[in-house]
Every structure is written in structure tokens, then in C-alpha cells.
Amino acid sequence: MANIGIIIGSTRPGRVGPQVAAWVHELAAKRSSANYEVIDIQEFELPLYAEAVPAAMSQGYELAQVRQWSERINALDGFVFVTPEYNRSIPGSLKNAIDYLAGEFANKAAGIVSYGSSGGVTAAEHLRISLSTLQVATVQSAPAFNLFTDFENFSTFTPSAVHEPAVSRLLDQVEGWTHGLSHVRALSALAA
């Protein structure tokens, strides 16, 4: 069965990202078609990216934190990114974590769940572009939670029920493409 990681993009103290990821995970865990786990970027304590050689050309990672991050992503078959919008894009923490890796993400599927004062849709589209560079296939459904209507006091996640079908559709789409892309990865491994 496919293993899909729900990745929390924000790392600041007081962040709401874990609440959103936990809610998505609760819905995902009801399904028997894939295994889901929450991955918190904060736990890896990644320093600000300063690699001399980009991951795509590197022979390995020097920092233990980066090796752990790499192994965690490598072990997953697909992803659901949970990202806030910071200054009309994704938070630096998420971009930083993504920039460390390359092949670990390739030929895998991802869904994007965003939140922000206008749903975080610009951040979601920025993330889609970055992921396409890493050869990640992002699915169509893109649930976007609004800080004014899906949170109490901008801090307690109280999602409107209207989002559930979009999240279910996203999970269906990620699982479908994850299955399809497993064949692409198998072919790539044969050709290597």
C-alpha cells in the first residue's frame, strides 16, 4: 500500500499548520486505500540552505538533519503539502526544506492544501511551480482555508464542512496518481 506524507510547511511558534494537517490526517486515516502520516518540517531543524553543491549534482548530504529529511521523503510514495501563505508565497521554511532535495521527490504525486487570509491560493500556485521543477505531479483539487471563515480568532481551526469534498477529491487524486507513478519510478529504476 502507498505511503503518503502530509507535510506541515510552517515552523514558527504558535503556527496553525499542525491543526490543519491533523484535520486532513483525520479524514485521510479513515481511508483504507493508503497509509498516511504527518511529517513536520520543524522536527528536522534544517539550517538555512547553504549547500556548496545542489542536491541534483551532489553525491550525498553532509548534515545529519538533511540526511534524515532525505530518507523520510525518499520513503514516501506521495504527498499532501499543507502550506500557509506568507507574503503571497510559501513560507521560507517550506521552500528551504524543498530546496535541499531533488530525486527524493521525483515521479511522485502531491496535493496542496493552503490557508491564509485569502485562502493561500497564491502560495499554493507558487508551490505547484516549484514542485513541477522537481518532477512532482500536482493534482487538480486544491482546498484553500480562509483565516476569516475557517478559523476562530485566526488561531483555532474550525473548518467549514464545504471543504470536506474537496479534501476527499484531493486524496482520491493523490492516491490515483501515486499508484500510476509507481510504474514510472519502477521503469526509471530499471533504466538506471
Ligand X SMILES: Cc1cc2nc3c(=O)[nH]c(=O)nc-3n(C[C@H](O)[C@H](O)[C@H](O)COP(=O)(O)O)c2cc1C
Is the Cβ–Cβ distance between 24 and 82 less than 8 Å? yes
By CB under 6 A, residue 149 contacts ligand X: no
Nearer to ligand X, 12 or 67 (CB): 12
128 touches ligand X by CB under 6 A: no
12 contacts ligand X (rule: CB under 6 A): yes
| Torsion, CA 156, CA 162, CA 164, CA 168, rounded to 10 | -140
In the complex, least distance from residue 119 CB atom to ligand X, rounded to whole angstroms:
7
Q: Does 143 bind ligand X (CB under 6 A)?
A: no
Q: Does 95 bind ligand X (CB under 6 A)?
A: no
Q: Cβ closer to ligand X: 84 or 111?
A: 84
Nearest residue (CB) to ligand X, 20 versus 76: 20
Q: Which helix (H) or strand (E) holds 83?
A: strand 78-84
- The helix (run of H) or strand (run of E) holding residue 72 is helix 64-74
* 120 binds ligand X per the rule CB under 6 A: yes
Cell of residue 30, nine digits? 479513515
Q: Give the helix, strand, coil percentages of the chain, each rounded to 5.
A: 45, 20, 35
Task: Kindly report the backbone phi and psi dihedral angles of residue 71, in degrees, each rounded to the nearest multiple of 5, phi listed first.
Answer: -65, -40
Q: Is the CB of 10 or the CB of 138 nearer to ligand X? A: 10
Closer CB to ligand X, 32 or 148, in the complex: 148
Reference 94, options 108, 110, 107; nearest CA is 110
Contact pattern for ligand X over residues 52 through 91, marking x by CB under 6 A: --------------------------------xxxxx---
Question: Could you give the 3-state DSSP secondary structure of residue 180?
Answer: helix
3-state secondary structure of 43: helix
CB of 3 to ligand X, least distance (A): 24
How many residues of this chain bind ligand X (CB under 6 A)?
Answer: 15
Interface residues with ligand X (CB under 6 A) are: 10, 12, 15-17, 84-88, 116-118, 120, 147
